[in-house]
Amino acid sequence: MFKKSVVLSTALFVVFATVAEAQDRYGNRPPVIVSPDLTAPWVMQLGVQVDPGVYRQQRAVAPQTRSATRNMRVREPMQQLPGISTEPQRQVQPVAMARPEKPARRQMDPQYLPQMVAYDTTEKAGTIIIDTNNRFLYLVTGNGEARRYGVGVGKPGFEWAGSHKITRKAEWPTWTPPSEMISREAAKGHYLPASMQGGPENPLGARAMYLGSTLYRIHGTNAPWTIGYAVSSGCIRMRNEDVVDLYERVNVGTKVVVI
CA–CA separation, 115 and 112 (whole Å): 8
Q: Let me know: does 141 contact 125? Beta carbons within 8 Å.
A: yes
93 is catalytic: no
| CB-count burial class (<10 Å; 0-12, 13-18, 19+) for 247 | buried
Antiparallel, parallel or unpaired: β 115-118 and 207-211: unpaired
Antiparallel, parallel or unpaired: β 153-154 and 230-232: parallel
- Helix, strand, coil shares of the chain, percent, nearest 5, are 30, 20, 50
Sign (positive/negative) of CA torsion 217, 222, 225, 230? negative
Q: How far apart are the first and last CA of the chain?
A: 151
| Residue 112 bridge partners (DSSP) | none
| CB-count burial class (<10 Å; 0-12, 13-18, 19+) for 203 | middle
- Quick one: which H or E segment has residue 209? strand 207-211
219 is catalytic: yes
| Per annotation, catalytic residue among 219, 220, 239, 254 | 219
| Per annotation, catalytic residue among 146, 235, 236, 250 | 235
Report, as residue numbers or ranges, the catalytic residues: 219, 235
